[in-house]
């Protein structure tokens, strides 16, 4: 449950706290908090100050800053005669590749800002809670990254990623999640894990092993390559193309393996946006409604050829045959 926060007016009136002390508190919070060093100070300060005054004040300031950044983005797009939008598929191929495209970056930042901005109108009943405040911080971080595209600020990189990730792990165990932990880059670790877990549990993999019984280590990218092949043959389908699952998974690996966070925050938001349909469950003529299944497979193919083809694909040209020990799968059948 979201934590209820004390309104700005109550701090001043009901609790008789000096206004200067309250203003100094927010100034110090914005300028010194380890996770807010990344943020555009003036904009973050304006958002947080207006937020503590009240919903009307915050909404007006949010509209003002939002309109300002969108006008900058739209002007840049217009000056360069770039398209105003691209299909999600094209956006995904660009965002999660190694090539930075300024025109796609601007559009991606714009659409992320719009999605988060729109959410505020849907959660006004949660105003003055920690949940709502989290959205405020998230929006301010997106706003900062959008301004980065115009060369007006620079991002704080993780100076000691190993220590920060370890501390986050300790905090997570204790349900202590606050704004002084590197939650945004660490989100990428969870993204990668949820993709791998989804694929393994959907297929129903219990264990990979060789003929001699020793364990075989199979990366999720190999399984995704197999799913891409099955998808091309129209034997399997999902709410998101397996090509994009593979792209996002590989994109996550850079941070997972190195701890180097060099991404824009809206890239993470786009990953969530694209992956969301995969985690909404689904239904079919056999199982009706399922809250945990979203990937469909041809029923006859699954019963007769799926496992042998998977083992053949994973074995490849190796002399050691890979066997897949199966458990209950989470496929939907068609």
pLDDT at 40: 45
Q: How far apart are CA 5 and CA 32, in angstroms?
A: 21
pLDDT of amino acid 1: 43
Strands 288-290 and 282-284, by their bridges, are: antiparallel
Distance CA 147, CA 250 (A): 27
End-to-end CA distance of the chain: 39
**Domain spans of the chain, in order of start:** 8-154, 185-333
pLDDT at 15: 54
Three-state SS at 322: strand
pLDDT in tens, 255-303: 888 877 778 899 999 999 999 999 987 777 666 677 778 999 999 999 9
Which residue stretches of the chain have pLDDT < 50? 1-2, 34-40
pLDDT at 167: 79
- Residues 222-225: contacts with CB under 8 Å, at least 24 apart: 222/313, 222/314, 223/199, 224/199, 224/249, 225/313
The 10s digit of each residue's pLDDT in 236-248 is 999 999 999 999 9
Q: What six digits make up the tokens of 133? A: 């405040």
% helix, strand, coil for the chain, step of 5: 60, 10, 30
pTM of the model: 0.85
Torsion of CA 154, 156, 157, 162, to 10 degrees: 180
């Amino acid at each position: 449950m979201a934590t209820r926060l004390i309104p700005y007016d109550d701090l001043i009136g009901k609790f008789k706290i000096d206004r200067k002390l309250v203003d100094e508190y927010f100034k110090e919070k914005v300028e010194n908090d380890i996770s807010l060093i990344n943020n555009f100070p003036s904009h973050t300060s304006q958002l947080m100050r207006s937020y503590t005054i009240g919903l009307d004040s915050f909404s007006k300031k949010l509209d003002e800053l939002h309109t300002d950044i969108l006008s900058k983005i739209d002007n840049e797009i217009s000056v360069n005669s770039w398209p105003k939008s691209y299909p999600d598929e094209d956006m995904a191929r660009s965002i999660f590749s190694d090539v930075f495209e300024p025109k796609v970056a601007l559009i991606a930042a714009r659409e992320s800002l719009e999605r988060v901005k729109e959410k505020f109108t849907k959660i006004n009943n949660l105003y003055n809670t920690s949940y709502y405040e989290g959205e405020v911080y998230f929006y301010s971080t997106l706003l900062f990254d959008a301004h980065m595209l115009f060369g007006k600020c620079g991002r704080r990189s993780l100076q000691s990623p190993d220590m920060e990730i370890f501390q986050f792990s300790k905090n997570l165990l204790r349900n202590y999640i606050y704004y002084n932990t590197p939650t945004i880059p660490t989100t990428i670790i969870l993204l990668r894990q949820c993709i791998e877990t989804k694929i393994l549990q959907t297929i129903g993999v219990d264990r990979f092993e060789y003929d001699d019984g020793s364990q075989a280590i199979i990366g999720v990218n190999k399984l995704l390559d197999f799913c891409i092949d099955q998808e091309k043959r129209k034997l399997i389908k999902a709410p998101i193309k397996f090509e994009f699952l593979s792209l996002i998974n590989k994109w996550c690996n850079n941070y997972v393996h190195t701890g180097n966070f060099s991404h824009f925050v809206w890239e993470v938001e786009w990953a969530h946006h694209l992956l969301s349909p995969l985690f909404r469950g689904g239904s079919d003529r056999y199982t009706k409604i399922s809250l945990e299944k979203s990937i469909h497979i041809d029923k006859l193919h699954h019963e007769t050829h799926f496992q042998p083809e998977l083992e053949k694909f994973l074995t490849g040209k190796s002399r050691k045959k890979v066997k897949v020990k199966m458990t209950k799968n989470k496929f939907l059948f068609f």
